[in-house]
Amino acid sequence: MQSYDVVIIGAGAAGLMCAASAAARGRRVALLDHANKVGKKILMSGGGRCNFTNYYIEPANYLSANSHFCKSALARFNQWDFIALVEKYQLAYHEKTLGQLFCDNKAKDILNILLAECEQYGVDIVTQCDIEAVEKIAANEYRYQIESSLGSWRCQSLVIATGGLSIPTMGATGLGYDIAKQFGLSIKPREAALVPFTFKGELLTLAQALAGVALPVSIECRQQRFAEALLFTHKGISGPAVLQISNYWYPGDELIIDLLPSQSLSDLLRQWRDNGEKSGLTKLLGQYLPKRFIQAWFEFQQLSILLEANVAQLSNADIERISNCLHAWRCTPAGTEGYRTAEVTRGGVSTDEVSSKTFEAKKAPGLYFIGEVLDVTGWLGGFNFQWAWASGYCAAQEV
């Protein structure tokens, strides 16, 4: 039996941050993970460069049944605090777009910072440790006991940082939710989020014909709108705009997509017509949209005949039809690609069950939940890591 002040299950972003911060306060910390390596999602994040935070973090960038829950932690450990840590290690980084901060070099640099902090303060990191049971105990100051393939641990504070369900091949499991249920905590329904959509039938045929084509679009669902790139894939649609809106999408919801948000197509078409443009539509639209897209799109919309027409011949009704189908394409995805490719899990341990200041479970003193296992889901762009850092740091001040 090993005894610690704090045992943390899950050595991902939140667990590592919490371990280093609690150990810096002088707590004896053990960090347990069943995987053979720690921080695997950090390593694969941001295309290998880790989008570790964002200049413009706001509570509005997070989804949760309780939209106020994330406010306190995000204010107490903000993006500037994490940037200060990155700068302490003289790590080179850059803003890619929309405030998103990436390492210049490799995601491993971020993991190395967290490991260096853990080492400096003496965190004991244990990998390939299969958790078999967690029990409440009352033995002097110890409140929880953990049984594992590598023996037993007991601790005053037990922190659950097992993340979400996405990418099971990277070590994701539902252990955190099972522990929450064991202690009577409720769980909000979970779905894959920040995830590509899949299509069926004619939409799928269209997507397959356009696979590889990317367009800047504006995409809308449930009153939420994002203006970023969309990518057609062999299964449906992906790209940043699509991943963002997937956070807000529920099965059966329709998406409204503006495929040419930078222009008013009806104005353009009227202008071309009124100026007596001689060229066909394919050539004129080709200034704004990929040729491959134009052909497939007009075919899909059964408007191919207009492509060959001289612009001078377009009626007002033709102009409206073309404009509507490109500016307000309504499509209903068949589903998402699921946890296999999702970046995050929407839903999780209910925020009603946990203090937003300490992250301690209200029904189970000494038991803490941090990071993605909670019902807090960030937008694409460094928001999910910032949540992991912030919740990990704040819990560490209490454990």
Ligand X SMILES: Cc1cc2nc3c(=O)[nH]c(=O)nc-3n(C[C@H](O)[C@H](O)[C@H](O)COP(=O)(O)OP(=O)(O)OC[C@H]3O[C@@H](n4cnc5c(N)ncnc54)[C@H](O)[C@@H]3O)c2cc1C
Interface residues with ligand X (CB under 6 A) are 9-15, 33-35, 38, 40-41, 44-46, 50-51, 131, 161-163, 166-167, 171-173, 175, 343-344, 371-373, 382-385, 388
Cα dihedral angle (355, 358, 363, 369), rounded to 10 degrees?
Answer: 90
CA-nearest of 374, 366, 384, 377 to 350 is 374
The CB-of-318 to ligand X minimum distance in angstroms stands at 44
The CB-of-341 to ligand X minimum distance in angstroms stands at 8
The CB-of-80 to ligand X minimum distance in angstroms stands at 16
Measured between its terminal Cα atoms, the distance across the chain in Å is 20
Asked if 19 and 133 touch (Cβ cutoff 8 Å), the reply is no
Contacts by 268-271 with C-beta closer than 8 Å and gap 24+? 269/311, 269/314, 269/319, 269/322, 269/323, 270/319
Q: Which is nearer to ligand X, 35 or 209 (CB)?
A: 35
The CB-of-39 to ligand X minimum distance in angstroms stands at 6
Q: Which is nearer to ligand X, 175 or 361 (CB)?
A: 175
Q: Which is nearer to ligand X, 198 or 323 (CB)?
A: 198
Q: Which is nearer to ligand X, 12 or 236 (CB)?
A: 12
Q: Which is nearer to ligand X, 52 or 298 (CB)?
A: 52
Three-class SS state of 117: helix
Pairing of strands 29-32, 124-126: parallel
The CB-of-395 to ligand X minimum distance in angstroms stands at 11
Q: Which is nearer to ligand X, 156 or 384 (CB)?
A: 384
Q: Which is nearer to ligand X, 298 or 359 (CB)?
A: 359
Residue whose CB is nearest to ligand X in the complex, by number: 12
Asked if 195 and 45 touch (Cβ cutoff 8 Å), the reply is no
The CB-of-268 to ligand X minimum distance in angstroms stands at 37
DSSP code per residue over 203-250: HHHHHHHHTT-EEEEEEEETTEEEEEEEEE-SSEEESHHHHHHHTT--
The CB-of-38 to ligand X minimum distance in angstroms stands at 6
Paired residues of 96 in beta bridges: none
CA atoms of 186 and 363, how far apart (whole Å): 11
The DSSP call for residue 373 is: G
